[in-house]
Chains A and B, each alone.
Chain A
């Protein structure tokens, strides 16, 4: 078997052409595709990270807003309770003042009624005593007593006049 140099050279050139063609038409595009894919994955990762960060930020903001809303709600409830307590106390105080005034008024009314009743009773009693006195005297005075009374009154009247 002879070594044929031109054949070897031809084979080498042929191999080189094939390698060159493969490199140019296959290897580079594949590398390019891989690079692009790698870039896409990297971009996707970055996007995912950004999304995660945004989500995390959103979660924090949400928690903060919730906390703020709870604080505000608690403050509103506390204020409402305070106002309600103030109103309750005011109503109670007003009711007490009103009740006191009503009691005083009724007491005054009662005293007035009592006094009026007492006056009426005294008046009626005095009238009754005088009526009885009138009747008793009318019956009790005999002629002699009448005469004495007249003498006595005549002296007194003329003396006074």
Chain B
């Protein structure tokens, strides 16, 4: 059974409880054999970005602003 690397990026460091809860949820989703790696990235501004293999779940404010920006561009 291969190990899946899951990167969790946030603008500030995750609390212990948050990390535990997130680990439980991710294991439910991707299986028990995942290896979670945390990363602090202030450019995200806020929220969280999870990268699991080729899949990316982006709930960062940076991403939301980028989406808004794209929408505004397409409107103009």
Residues of A at the B interface (CB closer than 8 Å) are 119, 122-123, 126-127, 130, 133-134, 137-138, 141, 143, 145-147, 149-151, 153-154, 156-158, 160-161
Contact = CB atoms under 8 A, between A and B. Distances in A.
A130 B76 contact: no
Contacts of A126: 69, 72-73, 76
Contact of A161 (B10, B29, B42, B47): B29
B19 to A, nearest CB: 10
Interface in B1-32: 10-12, 14-15, 18, 21-22, 25, 29
B69 A127 contact: yes
Given A141-B11, A145-B46, A161-B55, 8 more contacts: A123-B76, A130-B68, A133-B65, A134-B62, A138-B11, A146-B10, A150-B47, A154-B21
B33 interface: no
B76 A150 contact: no
Nearest to B30: A161
A149 B46 contact: yes
B57 A157 contact: yes
B12 A134 contact: no
